[in-house]
Amino acid sequence: MDERAQEQQRVDKIMNEIKTKEEKLYKQSKGLKEDVIEQRKTFWDDITVNMDEPDDVIETQESIKQQAALLSEKERFHGKVGERLKTLDRLKHSPYFGRIDFMEDSYPEKEAIYIGISSLMDKDDKDFLIYDWRAPISSLYYDSSTGRAGYRTRETTITGEVSLKRQFIIKHGVIEGMFDTGVTIGDQMLQQALGNNASTTMKSIVATIQKEQNQIIRNERSSLLVVQGVAGSGKTSAALQRIAYLMYRYREELNADNVVLFSPNPLFGSYISNVLPELGETNVRQMTFLNYIEKRLMDNFTVESPFKQMEYVLTQDESQDYPTRKKSMEYLASLAFKDLIDTYVEKINEAGLRFKRIAFRGETIVSKQRIYDYFYALGEEIAIPNKLELVVKWLLEEVRTQQKEELNKDWVMEKVELLDKEDYMEAYHQAEEQEDYGSSISDEEEVLRAQMVKRVFAPLKKRIRNLEFVNIPATYQALFTEVQLENAPKDWQEIAGHILTQLKERYLTWENATPYLYFQDRILGDTTDRSVRQLIIDEAQDYSAFQFAYIRHIFPYTRMTLLGDINQAIYTYAMKENPLLPVDHEENQERITLMKSYRSTKQIVEFTKHFAPGGEMIEPFNREGSKPVLIQDDIRETLLQRVKGFANEGYETTAIICKTLQESDEIAEVLQGKVEFNQINEETYTFEKGLLILPVYLAKGIEFDAVIIPNASEAHYGKESDRTLFYTACTRAMHALAMISVEKPCKFIEEAAGETYEVE
């Protein structure tokens, strides 16, 4: 029997074992489910309720506790059975993808190690039939070639000899491909994986993880892991596998709630939502940085999104306030502005914090001046947040005094009379139980008055506890009006006037949102999130120095993974003090650079690397395709023709990537009624296959079968700052790239070697 037949025979045995385990678990699951339902129905039948004597009460409580614990344990076990059934179902389609033959130095027998997305034990649960790709021994598959090799366990390093490294393509229990390979995952598997059409969701890459990606996935040492990866290098995929690996490695300590992923836009969040469930893990907390900021802002501000900021930069450069706004963008994004805020906060501890009065029914209980005087009488040696806690206690006492004074006023009974019967009885019983005014409540009216006053004052007390009496907006505005600071920039008056106008309109530009939130936190106190153990930031090149410093401020105990590509830094302010650039003073930092691009064909990579902003020697993966095409013809005619051409070639997803949303609207108007399409904006959370129209800044991290750039002219992409935009747009294409330019093509195309593209 040849080797392939032997391997197929083993796959057949594995499939039978999976089927046997499934049947056994189904029986268990069915019995458990019925048992849980029955126990829920009869929960109280096995409990003797006796509340007459103290001992009986304790016994009754213990009985309830035991029944609840038993039910909870059965429900938990039922959930685990369900999870295992899901895993077995995934294994049925493709039980494993790799094999390593390894002989340990201390053990004279060779072991064939098969690697898949999850482990599988034999029928006696003694030996592994399949090892989980995250198991320590599985790293041999990703990191080693035949010959001497080793892998790390928690306790030690195990060394030995790898005599075989084999890859499989198995579908529905049938081996479709089998290759013996060296250190890298063989081109055959990658060719097949990368040659497919683009998907509306990202897929797991465990079968094709490369050695350099495996370094990212299994890195456990670094508190800050920085990954600079060229377009299509698999950095996001590797980061998601990293999350799955860490949740497997630290299963007892790390769960989905301890991991946060900052994604670049809502569409991207949907695009990657499938990966962790494919690997048998729960999706982690995922949000954009904009979501996080909006959630944290106490005051009622409208926040500009980063996409609206980008649209402004790209479309309003002729407007009167543009030069000032650009200066404001750069300064507010810098660490220099953070230092300015820190200096201002120190001054506020001496004087200048604004407050709001405490009022009830339009009448002032405590004036702004009284709060100010009380706050600053506490002394400069006490930190601002600690002073505010003392102010809260004092204000609550003042409010309680007022509460007692309101008890016998007419408005109280007027409100009581408006209560419906249920509210009336509830209020009466609550007040009767609590008697929180210190003396026995003797008649019904007193009871209801007490409860009504308590209810009405509750929201006011809550606002005080939430520190809403501190006027953060007015205090922040004072930074731009009254405060003279030595380290302010030379254009400060101009910048300050511009910002002040927006603040008065309750509007925070994107560059001002993080500074405002940082200022709010410095005044109101500790907002550090200790629950987050791992933070992954994708497209980190688009974060400003201030934004990254703020993230470090709120997650001081968190291990971070930054992923990005300086070549795709489309926000101009982000190029300075970028978090992806090396930081000398950063302790326990590790940097990994990925230079090989897997997304696009060799021809597309050879074309785009000529105008990549960093000028790195980007290495294409050896997947052949057609050269990018420059079409010098009318946009209206060419666009429709090219869209239909790509569809005829079998491409399922074609993206028309525009420079701005404004251009995207214009293209949509041209194609309206001629062809079906979906237009994507910042409110789009999912996308379907077909023809898509979108601005480049919403295409970050996503890939398409074919890309059309509808206006690649010098007039449209003429500035040096457009380089990253044009490069990002081109590198979204997996198989085909077409650029249309009626006029002179942009300089970036001309920088590419003539033989790397065709002209039509």
**CA nearest neighbour of 179 among 192, 171, 188:** 188
- Cβ partners under 8 Å of residue 428, min gap 6: 444, 447, 448, 451
CB-count exposure of residue 457 (10 Å: 0-12, 13-18, 19+): middle
Q: Is 352 annotated as a binding residue?
A: no
The type of residue at 292 is Y
Q: Is 230 annotated as a binding residue?
A: yes
Helix (H, G, I), strand (E, B), or coil: what is residue 8? helix
Q: Is 701 annotated as a binding residue?
A: no
639 phi, psi to nearest 5 deg = -60, -50
Helix 492-504 and helix 510-524, axial crossing angle in degrees, nearest 10: 80
Rounded to a whole number, what is the largest CA-CA distance in the chain? 98
Q: Are strands 589-594 and 224-229 parallel, antiparallel or unpaired?
A: parallel
R_g of the chain, CA atoms, integer Å: 32
Confirm if 537 and 549 have CB atoms less than 8 A apart: no
Q: How far apart are the first and last CA of the chain?
A: 55
Confirm if 556 and 529 have CB atoms less than 8 A apart: no
Q: Is 231 annotated as a binding residue?
A: yes
| Apex 531 CA angle, 526 and 533, nearest 5 | 115
**What's the token pair of residue 406?**
């309101």
Say how far apart CA 748 and CA 760 lie, in whole Å.
18
Confirm if 247 and 683 have CB atoms less than 8 A apart: no
Say how far apart CA 292 and CA 294 lie, in whole Å.
6
* Cβ atoms < 10 Å from Cβ of 31: 12
Say how far apart CA 224 and CA 241 lie, in whole Å.
17
Give the 3-state secondary structure percentages of the chain, helix then strand then coil, rounded to 5.
50, 15, 35
**What's the token pair of residue 7?**
């391997």
DSSP state of 265: S
Q: Is 229 annotated as a binding residue?
A: yes
Say how far apart CA 412 and CA 119 lie, in whole Å.
67
Helix 54-93 and helix 3-41, axial crossing angle in degrees, nearest 10: 160
Cross-strand bridge partners of residue 103 = 161
Q: Is 415 annotated as a binding residue?
A: no
**CA nearest neighbour of 536 among 293, 226, 276:** 226
Say how far apart CA 224 and CA 534 lie, in whole Å.
10
Say how far apart CA 533 and CA 284 lie, in whole Å.
12
Say how far apart CA 525 and CA 605 lie, in whole Å.
49
Q: Give counts: helices (H), strands (E), the chain.
A: 26, 26
Q: Is 707 annotated as a binding residue?
A: no
**What's the token pair of residue 565?**
């590509």
Say how far apart CA 557 and CA 203 lie, in whole Å.
31
Confirm if 639 and 740 have CB atoms less than 8 A apart: yes
CA pseudo-torsion sign 492, 520, 334, 232: negative
Say how far apart CA 385 and CA 390 lie, in whole Å.
9
Q: Is 98 annotated as a binding residue?
A: no
Q: Which residues are annotated as a binding site?
A: 229-236
Q: Which residues are annotated as a binding site for ATP?
A: 229-236
